[in-house]
Amino acid sequence: MVVTVIGVGLIGGSMALGLKEMGMASQVIGVGRNTSSQAKALALHIVDVVLPLDEAVKKADIIYIAIPVDATIDVVLQVMDLIHDDQIVIDAGSTKFALCTAVKDHPRRKQFVASHPMWGTEFSGPEAAVKGAFAGRACVICEKEKSSESALNIVENLYKKLNMHIIYMNAHNHDVHAAYISHISHITSFALANTVLEKEKEEDAIFEMAGGGFESTVRLAKSNAAMWAPIFMQNKENVLDVLNEHISQLRKFKASLEKENMDYLIELIEKANQIKRILK
Amino acid sequence: MVVTVIGVGLIGGSMALGLKEMGMASQVIGVGRNTSSQAKALALHIVDVVLPLDEAVKKADIIYIAIPVDATIDVVLQVMDLIHDDQIVIDAGSTKFALCTAVKDHPRRKQFVASHPMWGTEFSGPEAAVKGAFAGRACVICEKEKSSESALNIVENLYKKLNMHIIYMNAHNHDVHAAYISHISHITSFALANTVLEKEKEEDAIFEMAGGGFESTVRLAKSNAAMWAPIFMQNKENVLDVLNEHISQLRKFKASLEKENMDYLIELIEKANQIKRILK
């Protein structure tokens, strides 16, 4: 199979490496945002060749789209206008409702599979792409009933070969859950970084003292604005819902400290400990 | 050297394992909160013998105290009343100001070293103790001028043999920095867990979808209330300071979304990205 990857960054690049490693792609054609990312993707052997979008789409069996979500809708529609009967289009975006709504009446909707492989790091660009990235992680496929059986089979097979387990849900539910397990973690991390940068003047002390807790909570704050700002904006309502609840939970900790109410503080922490139920 | 470890949990237990592994302790005597933790510490070969506090202190060259910070002050004072001229007392607590204030006029103050090895995990109890725990991490020593040169040398040597780098600061500054790099991360994580538990009814979906971001941000929410509630309470003023700033930073994200102000959202994220300066 010839696979065209549109967006050769963290996700698209890792996908290209995985598909080649698993022998699923005989050739990977890259479409990059600019000459610099294209050159990097070639140099790092993430893609075999770089072509303009039209040409890259024409030559592919599968077109895999992994670009910021504010650009995804237009590019998916543009690609779906270009494909013929045997081609399949997949996206990897972190939001699904707006996209699924935008493509729902496209004559080639059946050849599109809306997916979200649940993997990422705080890094971006072709240099952030890694082999074996997706193994053991979940991949959400949305509105599977709107894709043809053959397209769905090919995409499921592709993700399974990368050792992902597939979950099916509608696009709205995906966006609600993603707000909880991914989007809010990133906002918290960004806000925590800004808290430290705003108030703590002795950065050297922090740098020297920082232990595992700080590193793991603030790590996500290195994440790329071009990727994340559109995600938060496109999933605004769910993210605001979760963010409001999160602020109100923080206020409970604040109240327990202000009132020196040790019992309440312990109750809040012990309730939080129940997250063990959900985390492995 | 005979080392008595009071509190054979995550920190005390790991310290005991480290001191034995490095050949610094010929014998480790354990003092545990209850018979269950004592039995575990013995079974896991964390301590060689378990004794009541008075007896354990009498036989030791070094007494290492690693218990919740609300119990630390009383126990440190009690131990310092028991020791003779050649013994050294060390504590490992996450707050330093209240303790350093409480011991400052004790006749044996010079034999006490206030320290905070910056390592931990979300687990607790003897079964959470691990070998090699502290390697590569920072250890803060507070008010070093109040310890005798010989006590300080022995303690510095002990931490250096565990491959820690030592930072010196006064107790007030320690508590301010600790609020930023450790205490707020834990509160955020607890609050995030409570947000999810409060609002998200489909826990199975979260469990299945949860990727690396969620796991790393919420991991700390498994942490023990008996350890953390007293830390927050004892460092209340600094923690409230940071918590207020954190809530106000979250509100900025909220405002940017409510107003659909993409430029402002990107600005907030790009500011947070500067945390790269501080993190390795």
Q: Confidence band (pLDDT; 50, 70, 90) for A278?
A: confident
CA distances from B125 to B38, B39, B73, B116 (A): 10, 11, 20, 18
Contact A269 B245 (CB under 8 A): no
Any idea where the domains of chain B sit in the sequence? 2-170, 174-277
Q: Give the Cβ contact number of residue B67 at 10 Å.
A: 25
| Cβ neighbours of residue A219 closer than 8 Å, sequence gap 6 or more | A122, A189, B216, B279
For A195-208, write each residue's pLDDT tens digit: 998 877 776 777 77
Contact list, A200 vs chain B (CB under 8 Å): 177, 180
Residue A208 confidence (pLDDT): 76
Assembly ipTM: 0.92
Distance of residue B55 Cα from the nearest chain A Cα, in angstroms: 33
Q: How far apart are CA B86 and CA B134, in angstroms?
A: 26
Residue B280 confidence (pLDDT): 63
Q: CB-CB: which of A198, A232, A277 is closest to B257?
A: A232
Contact list, B201 vs chain A (CB under 8 Å): none
Average pLDDT over residues B108-132: 95
Residue A280 confidence (pLDDT): 63
CA distances from B56 to A207, B34, B53 (A): 38, 15, 5
For B220-233, write each residue's pLDDT tens digit: 999 999 999 999 99
Is A112 in contact with A151 (CB distance < 8 Å)? yes
DSSP string for A211-239: -HHHHHHHGGGGS-HHHHHHHHHHTHHHH
Residue A65 confidence (pLDDT): 98
**What's at B197, amino acid-wise?**
L
Q: CB-CB: which of B213, B219, B277 is closest to A186?
A: B213
- Give the tokens for residue A228: 């994340």
Is A51 in contact with A31 (CB distance < 8 Å)? yes
Distance of residue B20 Cα from the nearest chain A Cα, in angstroms: 24
Average pLDDT over residues B115-131: 94
Sequence-ordered strand ranges (E) for A118-236: 138-142, 165-169
Distance of residue B197 Cα from the nearest chain A Cα, in angstroms: 7
Distance of residue B209 Cα from the nearest chain A Cα, in angstroms: 6
Is B247 in contact with A247 (CB distance < 8 Å)? yes
Q: CB-CB: which of A219, A242, A273 is closest to B199?
A: A242
Contact A229 B266 (CB under 8 A): yes
**By percentage, how much of chain B surpasses pLDDT 70?**
98
pLDDT tops 90 at residue B12: yes
Closest CA to A208 of B28, B178, B146, B229: B178
Give me the helix-helix angle, B225-234 and B236-258, nearest 10°.
90
Closest CA to B187 of A243, A251, A122, A209: A251
A259 Rama sector, left if φ>0, alpha if ψ -120 to 50, beta otherwise: alpha
Distance of residue A244 Cα from the nearest chain B Cα, in angstroms: 8
Q: CB-CB: which of A221, A225, A240 is closest to B258?
A: A240
For A75-108, write each residue's pLDDT tens digit: 999 999 999 999 999 999 999 999 999 999 999 9
Residue B169 sits at the vertex; the CA angle it makes with B163 and B172, to the nearest 5 degrees, is 130
Q: Confidence band (pLDDT; 50, 70, 90) for A212?
A: low
For A46-68, write each residue's pLDDT tens digit: 999 999 999 999 999 999 999 99
pLDDT tops 90 at residue A279: no
pLDDT tops 80 at residue B14: yes
pLDDT tops 90 at residue A69: yes
Contact list, B185 vs chain A (CB under 8 Å): 192, 213-214, 216-218
Q: CB-CB: which of B211, B236, B273 is closest to A120?
A: B211
CB-neighbour burial class of residue B120 (10 A; exposed 0-12, middle 13-18, buried 19+): buried
H-helix or E-strand containing B205? helix B203-209
A236: closest chain B residue by CA: B257
Sign of the Cα torsion A229, A235, A241, A245 reads: negative
Contact A173 B205 (CB under 8 A): yes
Q: Is pLDDT larger for residue B215 or for residue B14?
A: B14
Residue B208 confidence (pLDDT): 76
Q: How far apart are CA B93 and CA B11, in angstroms?
A: 9
User: Class assignment of domain B174-277?
Assistant: mainly alpha
Q: How far apart are CA B134 and CA B131, in angstroms?
A: 8
Average pLDDT over residues B32-37: 90
- Across all residues in chain A, what is the average pLDDT? 94
Average pLDDT over residues A174-198: 93
Q: Supply the CATH classification number for the domain B2-170.
A: 3.40.50.720
pLDDT tops 70 at residue B20: yes
Which CATH superfamily includes the segment(s) A2-169? NAD(P)-binding Rossmann-like Domain (3.40.50.720)
Residue B205 confidence (pLDDT): 73
Q: Confidence band (pLDDT; 50, 70, 90) for B211?
A: low
Contact list, B224 vs chain A (CB under 8 Å): 273
b/e sequence A9-22, b meaning 16+ C-beta within 10 Å: bbbbbbbbbbbbee
Residue B167 confidence (pLDDT): 94
Is A99 in contact with A171 (CB distance < 8 Å)? yes
Q: Confidence band (pLDDT; 50, 70, 90) for B212?
A: low
Contact list, B215 vs chain A (CB under 8 Å): 279
Residue B76 confidence (pLDDT): 98
Measured torsion, CA atoms of residues A38, A41, A45, A49, in degrees rounded to the nearest 10: -30
Contact list, B203 vs chain A (CB under 8 Å): 277-278
Which residues, in sequence order, are bridge partners of residue A223?
none
| Cβ neighbours of residue B229 closer than 8 Å, sequence gap 6 or more | A262, A265, A266, A269
Contact list, A228 vs chain B (CB under 8 Å): 269
Residue with tokens 């450790």: B182
Is A238 in contact with B164 (CB distance < 8 Å)? no
Q: CB-CB: which of A118, A213, A253 is closest to B191?
A: A253
CA distances from A179 to A96, A101, B14, B206 (A): 12, 18, 37, 10
Distance of residue B27 Cα from the nearest chain A Cα, in angstroms: 29
Distance of residue B32 Cα from the nearest chain A Cα, in angstroms: 22
Q: CB-CB: which of A221, A225, A243 is closest to B275?
A: A221
Residue A209 confidence (pLDDT): 80
Contact A198 B245 (CB under 8 A): yes
pTM as predicted: 0.91
